[in-house]
Structure 1
Amino acid sequence: MCNSSINSNLRSLLDELERIKFNDLSRTLELSNETYFQCKMQQYPAGMCFSLLVKGNCLSFLGKYSDAIHSLSQAINLAIENNICDLQILINIAIGNIFSDLSNYEEGFSFYNSAVKLCSKLSNSTNYYSNSCYEIYYCKVCNNMAEIYKILGDLDNASRLYNQAVELDIKTNYKGTLGVSIANLGSLNLLKGNLYEAKKQILKGLEITKANNFSIAITECYTNLAMIYEKEHNEDKAKLYFQKAMNFSENSSGVFYKLGAIINYSKFLKKHGDIALAIDNLISALNIAETNNLLEKCNSVCKELANCYEELNDIEKSNKYYRLYFKFDSELKVLSNSQILTSIEIKLKLDTLESERQKLIKKNDDYRKHSEMLLESSRKMKILSELGQKLTSTQNLDEIIDILSSNISEFMNIHNFSLALYDKDKDCLIFKCNNTNGSNSELPLVQLNNNRSLSAYCVRANKFIVINDFDKDPLVLNETINIYEPNGMHGFQSAIYCPLLIDGYSFGMISIYSHIKNRFNTLDIETMRALASYAAIAINNSLKSSYLKIEIANKEKIQKDLEKVNYELKYLSENDFLTKLSNRRKFNSTLLIEWQNCLQKKCPLSIIIFDVDNFKELNDNYGHLVGDKCLAKIASVFKDCMNDTYTPSRFGGDEFIAILPGISKDKAIQIGKKISSAVKALKIEHAFSKTDNIVTISVGVASVIPTESTSIDELLKSADTAMYKSKMAREKLFNSTKGL
């Protein structure tokens, strides 16, 4: 739609905006605002519409859907008012893309279909682009619809639409989408396992997208090629293309796709045994994801990191990333709920815009009724939005149920609200809430195979059920139902049963009842659908959160138990069971350490060794049990004579020994006397002793300042000799005067 009245400067601005619109998002936003202002100043509505469209697409790429829909709403009004058909098509595609991004595929398809219908009017309408034709825009729609089919797992329909897109691109020689169409077909063949076709198509698509500098598509092509070479066991090429995908684009438009490439590359490295490099890449990916607030990617990366450290048996780091995973998972669920709210709010905005356009040609009465409906819808939407925020603010199941029960009556004129969850082990519904006019009461279990219960039927069949008249509804009159509800019905005339669905699986239901026939209109029904979605997400998050907390607690308990067992095993390996003193193994390792310390510090190292006089006679005449008790008592007083820096040990049999680092010979002799006196003070009877009528000990002391020319063995031998001389001389302490 060339306007000869606009100046060359504005024309240049519009051309520049066209050129950069898919590459530099920051610059695109700035330029679209500037171009819109200039077009408005020169009263050029087509340029204003185009600027708003580009701005809306840019905001959508950045995930700012509410702002995007605001720009696109202004654009669609301008396009309709000025009958600019090709921009109407592109705006419908852009809005469809937003709903698809928010996983509202039904609404996405609705806008894509609107775009297809408008394509037939192109030849008889005013258009912004001079080359606009049916094939070009239908090709865009085919690609987008195929993407949805691919996400939903319908590869046959996805393949059909991708092929149509490629055929139309070739027919029109439209390079703007040809590379993307071919690359998309290649990615589909990759999913199907047709590696030869996939590689050929992706390489061709890469060639074309490079020529058009379509950075997002180029990054995806590199990633898909890497995955193909990995499947072909060509590790070198796989690494090469993963690196290309990660390094290709550093600007804001490539971050999401770059992260996808890094995560896939890390999985590749882990699969091929390079877990350390995989961890490095994942940590880098986590930093990028956190910087750009990409919670879904943060969540995926933390899960991969936890798995990697789990394989390395690094339980501490594995638990660290499991906790981060749990944190991001919670934030992601809040974001997911927010996106659902955004999707509903966007739909409401668009419905409102369409309604306002229709109001121009309606009678005053229709206008009044429609306004009332919009006001009611707006009121309910506000309450629903606030309720959604409350639900996503907690992961406590009881709090979620209380929020639902206490708030639903604010926007639904009902007499009863019930909520039941499916218990898989018991194969029944357990009612968690049954609120009648503000009063809660308990309800019995309902078996899932109970053919008389609409609640059970709702969950069993995954069906959203609306009953506006229990006396006439065909489902109620069905002999297989016969209507039994645990709440006894209480004269209810209308009801809505909503399954709580996650990934197509029903894990419970909520229901509302009214005493009034035909109580629920279309708005009420859609409101309950939205509420059921919020409730399902919030309750599922709560259940998953509980399971995850239990799993983490179990892992932490296992870790603590393991540490306790390891400590006990280490204790048993280093300590004597009878005396609780260090054993010979621990003594030897400690002596070696203290020897080296004293060697470096050039300080004395003393040894005290003693045995029980005539211990064999004690055992032979009093028995081994008395002998063991004797050793335990001696060990106790021996330990009492030591401080924390000494190492009292059982050397073997009735021999005891201690390491005294930094203690001189004289001090060691004093300690030896103290031990001898303490043992004697026990007054353990020993009538068969050759030295006394009570248990006594013979003590030997040796001391040395370690040098390179002395040895541990000499020190031990010297102490042993001193003890022997003590025993022979019938003395309790003997000092080796020779030293070492």
Structure 2
Amino acid sequence: MPNIETLRQIASLNQNAKQIINRNPQEALALANEALNLALEAQDPTSICSSHYFVGSSKWRLGQLTDAITSLQEADIINKYLDQPVHEVEILNTLGNIYLDLQIYDLAFTYYQMGYHAAQHQNDPKMIATLLSNVGEIYRELNDYEAALDHYQLSLDGLKNLDQKERIIYPISNIGAVYLAQDKLDLAQEYTMQALELARFYDDRIIESLSLKFLGILAKKNFNYSLAEDYLNQSLTLYSETQELLFSTDVLFELHDLYTEQNKIQQALIYLNEAIMIGEDLKANHILKQAYQRLVKDHQALNNTQNAFFFMEKYMEVSEEIEKDKLDQKLRSIQLMKQADITAQERDDYFLLNQQLEKAYQSAEVIHAIGRKVTATNDLEALYNIVYENLSILMSSTTFGIAIHSENLKALQYQYLIVDEERMENHFASLENKNSLAVQCFIQNRSLVFRTRDDIKNVLHQTPSSTIGSVMNSMMFVPLVIEDKAIGIITIQNRADHAYNEQSLKTLETLAAYIAIAIRNTQKNNALKAQIEEKSSIQNELAKLNKELQDLSEIDGLTGIANRRHFDEFYEYEFKRCLRSNEWISLMMLDIDHFKEYNDHYGHLQGDEIIILIAKLIAKHAKRSSDLAVRFGGDEFIVVLSNTPLEDAHRIALVIQKEISELTLLHEHSPIASTISLSIGIASLIPSTECSTNALLEKADQALYKAKGNGRNQIQIYKEST
């Protein structure tokens, strides 16, 4: 029997986590983990379930989506064995939220639907209203704005009737988002400002951050770029304070888009880099996909086709991983429902009964295996062979075909057609042939399944015929779809009646999704290769212009490291980022001792060689994407070291001085040494709103001035007494 005092402590920890989760999810996670450890020691299922829920909810807010799903599904399973389930509706709702973030809309809708049924059963009008608003989010992301607004309004009306003023923030914010997407800017402004005021009144950081982001987008749409940047940076700062990294990437993308709209591509790339680092840390492929897609366009705008091609390949790779992850999540959900032995009717609607589940699971495993092979090849012929050879594991067929739309021929051209195990060549289906079931499937962009010849006759309104072999009795046609547009069809047919059922159709539809992605990836790959070949000749012609443009670029022409222009933008961004993250930033200013004397006696060409060599040496120590080595002017350099405290910056400076000394670069006309030496000044701080970028730069400059004044060939660190 668990100790009563322990149970009270667990309940208190979870209650505290609940109260702060919208303000400080990191602290909420620490409290919930402490509660979970106590609950596991006490072996109390109710406390374990409750703690898992708060752990999962906190991890969701922090962007740890995979771990969040694991915790929440664990809670969901435990709930099935409790006489009085805890947080049942909230668990299902949060799982729906996570799958919405992952853009797995069918699973999101399923969990919302299950939560809605549970809320109705428990007579919980507050959660009913919440779930209605969340279902509206699915419709909004799928651009069905009318349905989205209907759901938001139902949610808003329900919460108003309950006098749940702190909860109405969510549908109000969502309504503003819809009007923003529809470019109804006055209405978007009205609802977003209302949501922001309520969020600040109720100290809801989630909606406050979101509202500031929406206001930034509004300002951008009105071409008020300065105001847009201000709102977006406020939103980013809030997300940094709450450590909601996943949601901060949306703001980083908006900042990127803001700068690309102003044709400031290099500045925009800095924000993409931060989003990619977050995506990699969180293993969030849907974030990386958005980032790579933007990088392709950015490098095309910069006429860097090689980089554009590289990021296009990264985009395609991560797109394939996302599709595999979606299937993995669906398989996991099926397994968990089987494990929990759930019999509730609303779950039967999605996961079927146990026997059907087993068959669906086996089919899904085979599809996944095919999908891995299909998406790993850029050879279409190999792709078609893989599909055909493996499909027999799932279902029998007499005819199998894949046809792709040919705009030139105005027909479906069968790239791969097998009839009675014999390969057929040069077969087309004209789009004008309305009696072709393949054409109907393609034009209507919907799946067709026929179990008997009479089914076919009822659709065609005539006796069916075939241009190849005999007419089949059972047929399935599924469109190959990319971004809601059909690019072709896949068909499987059998002479026997009732050879296929609804499960067969779902299996073929899932497989069709893999095939469509693989076909489009191959097409894009080939098109991009052709584009690179075409542009390579153009780039040769542009080579003459590159020299003239170099002075305007962000790279120093002599050394190949960053120039002053790049420094100004990079340093300002990193300073603000460290301000948001409460991190150290260090500046190191370096000057070649008595370089004028070197130039006077050895010549400017030799002097240039020294500058190039020192620049390369310094750049070695600015390894991270958040570091930057800069030629500041003449023989002066700067190194920006983000997230680097003073002692680490000093250590790097010592290494640089040691390496310069070991090079023994002769400087016979230096009054302080026989070889080239450096004077270095360092300043470090954790930025605050009271400290400007210029202030830190001046401190580093003062430290360098002191190093030179004290005899050079030394390192000086800025101190307030300096």
- Work out whether the TM-score is over 0.5: yes
State the one-letter code of the partner of 2:494. Answer: S
Structure 1 residues 301 and 320: alpha-carbon distance in aligned structure 2, compared to 1, 3 A threshold: farther
Is the CA contact (8 Å cut-off) linking 2:399 and 2:418 kept in structure 1?
yes
CA shift, 1:408, in A, is 0.6
Is the CA contact (8 Å cut-off) linking 1:434 and 1:443 kept in structure 2?
no
Counterpart of 2:432?
449
Structure 1 residues 413 and 98: alpha-carbon distance in aligned structure 2, compared to 1, 3 A threshold: farther
Alignment of structure 1 residues 283-322 onto 2, 5 Å: 283-304=273-294, 307-308=297-298, 314-315=302-303, 318-322=304-308
Counterpart of 1:399?
382
1:341 aligns with 2:321: no
State the one-letter code of the partner of 1:421. Answer: I
1:511 aligns with 2:491: yes
CA shift, 1:339, in A, is 2.9
1:266 aligns with 2:252: no
CA shift, 1:521, in A, is 3.1
The partner residue of 1:254 within 217, 234, 244 is 244
CA shift, 1:285, in A, is 4.2
State the one-letter code of the partner of 2:469. Answer: G
The partner residue of 1:242 within 232, 242, 251 is 232
1:483 aligns with 2:464: yes
Is the CA contact (8 Å cut-off) linking 2:21 and 2:28 kept in structure 1?
yes
Counterpart of 2:539?
559
Counterpart of 1:52?
52
Is the CA contact (8 Å cut-off) linking 2:77 and 2:340 kept in structure 1?
no
For residues 42 and 282 of structure 2, what CA distance do their matches in structure 1 show? 38
Alignment of structure 1 residues 503-582 onto 2, 5 Å: 503-560=483-540, 563=543
Is the CA contact (8 Å cut-off) linking 1:96 and 1:112 kept in structure 2?
yes
Counterpart of 1:380?
363
Structure 1 residues 226 and 110: alpha-carbon distance in aligned structure 2, compared to 1, 3 A threshold: same
For residues 161 and 351 of structure 1, what CA distance do their matches in structure 2 show? 28
CA shift, 1:284, in A, is 4.4
CA shift, 1:499, in A, is 1.2
Is the CA contact (8 Å cut-off) linking 2:306 and 2:532 kept in structure 1?
no
Q: Which residues of structure 2 form unaligned runs of 5+?
A: 548-598, 604-722
Structure 1 residues 453 and 61: alpha-carbon distance in aligned structure 2, compared to 1, 3 A threshold: farther
Structure 1 residues 528 and 32: alpha-carbon distance in aligned structure 2, compared to 1, 3 A threshold: farther
State the one-letter code of the partner of 1:333. Answer: S
Q: What per-residue deviation string (whole Å, max 9, x for no partner) do you get for residues 207-229 of structure 1?
A: 33345554443322111111222
Structure 1 residues 253 and 391: alpha-carbon distance in aligned structure 2, compared to 1, 3 A threshold: farther
Structure 1 residues 211 and 559: alpha-carbon distance in aligned structure 2, compared to 1, 3 A threshold: same
Counterpart of 1:419?
402
Which segment is superposed worse, 382-391 or 323-332? 323-332
Structure 1 residues 417 and 239: alpha-carbon distance in aligned structure 2, compared to 1, 3 A threshold: same
CA shift, 1:428, in A, is 0.8
The partner residue of 2:391 within 399, 404, 408 is 408
For residues 219 and 249 of structure 2, what CA distance do their matches in structure 1 show? 19
1:325 aligns with 2:325: no
CA shift, 1:298, in A, is 4.1
CA shift, 1:355, in A, is 5.5
1:179 aligns with 2:172: no
Counterpart of 2:75?
75
The partner residue of 1:500 within 480, 486, 491 is 480
CA shift, 1:63, in A, is 6.7
Q: Secondary structure at the match of 1:249?
A: helix
Is the CA contact (8 Å cut-off) linking 1:453 and 1:484 kept in structure 2?
no
For residues 363 and 101 of structure 2, what CA distance do their matches in structure 1 show? 25
Structure 1 residues 178 and 502: alpha-carbon distance in aligned structure 2, compared to 1, 3 A threshold: same
Is the CA contact (8 Å cut-off) linking 1:186 and 1:202 kept in structure 2?
yes
CA shift, 1:415, in A, is 2.9
Q: What per-residue deviation string (whole Å, max 9, x for no partner) do you get for residues 688-716 of structure 1?
A: xxxxxxxxxxxxxxxxxxxxxxxxxxxxx
Is the CA contact (8 Å cut-off) linking 1:454 and 1:485 kept in structure 2?
no
CA shift, 1:325, in A, is 2.4
For residues 10 and 565 of structure 1, what CA distance do their matches in structure 2 show? 69
CA shift, 1:498, in A, is 1.2
For residues 158 and 61 of structure 2, what CA distance do their matches in structure 1 show? 26
For residues 492 and 87 of structure 2, what CA distance do their matches in structure 1 show? 44
Q: Which residues of structure 1 form unaligned runs of 5+?
A: 124-132, 363-368, 568-596, 602-740
CA shift, 1:137, in A, is 0.5
State the one-letter code of the partner of 2:220. Answer: E
State the one-letter code of the partner of 1:394. Answer: T
Counterpart of 1:432?
415
CA shift, 1:449, in A, is 1.9
Alignment of structure 1 residues 25-104 onto 2, 5 Å: 28=28, 31-42=31-42, 44-58=44-58, 60=60, 68-82=68-82, 84=84, 87-104=87-104
The partner residue of 1:191 within 181, 188, 195 is 181
For residues 107 and 272 of structure 2, what CA distance do their matches in structure 1 show? 36
Which segment is superposed worse, 242-251 or 70-79? 70-79
Counterpart of 2:720?
none
Is the CA contact (8 Å cut-off) linking 1:501 and 1:533 kept in structure 2?
yes
Q: Secondary structure at the match of 1:421?
A: strand
Q: Secondary structure at the match of 2:391?
A: helix
Q: Secondary structure at the match of 2:240?
A: coil
Counterpart of 1:619?
none
CA shift, 1:353, in A, is 4.8
For residues 6 and 562 of structure 1, what CA distance do their matches in structure 2 show? 74
TM-score (structure 1 length as normaliser) = 0.66
TM-score (structure 2 length as normaliser) = 0.67
CA shift, 1:301, in A, is 4.1
**Between Structure 1 and Structure 2, how many residues are aligned?**
546
Q: What per-residue deviation string (whole Å, max 9, x for no partner) do you get for residues 698-737 of structure 1?
A: xxxxxxxxxxxxxxxxxxxxxxxxxxxxxxxxxxxxxxxx
The structure with the largest alpha-carbon Rg is: 1
For residues 383 and 199 of structure 1, what CA distance do their matches in structure 2 show? 50
For residues 21 and 357 of structure 2, what CA distance do their matches in structure 1 show? 36
Q: Secondary structure at the match of 1:410?
A: coil
For residues 76 and 602 of structure 2, what CA distance do their matches in structure 1 show? 85
Is the CA contact (8 Å cut-off) linking 1:102 and 1:339 kept in structure 2?
no
Structure 1 residues 212 and 154: alpha-carbon distance in aligned structure 2, compared to 1, 3 A threshold: same
CA shift, 1:104, in A, is 4.2
1:118 aligns with 2:118: yes
State the one-letter code of the partner of 2:375. Answer: T
Q: Secondary structure at the match of 2:487?
A: strand
Structure 1 residues 424 and 62: alpha-carbon distance in aligned structure 2, compared to 1, 3 A threshold: farther
Higher RCO structure (Cα 8 Å, ≥6 apart): 2
State the one-letter code of the partner of 2:211. Answer: C
Which segment is superposed worse, 240-249 or 57-66? 57-66
Structure 1 residues 432 and 236: alpha-carbon distance in aligned structure 2, compared to 1, 3 A threshold: closer
Q: Secondary structure at the match of 1:425?
A: coil
Structure 1 residues 437 and 113: alpha-carbon distance in aligned structure 2, compared to 1, 3 A threshold: same
Is the CA contact (8 Å cut-off) linking 2:63 and 2:246 kept in structure 1?
no
State the one-letter code of the partner of 1:250. Answer: S
CA shift, 1:150, in A, is 1.2
Structure 1 residues 563 and 226: alpha-carbon distance in aligned structure 2, compared to 1, 3 A threshold: closer
Structure 1 residues 492 and 433: alpha-carbon distance in aligned structure 2, compared to 1, 3 A threshold: same
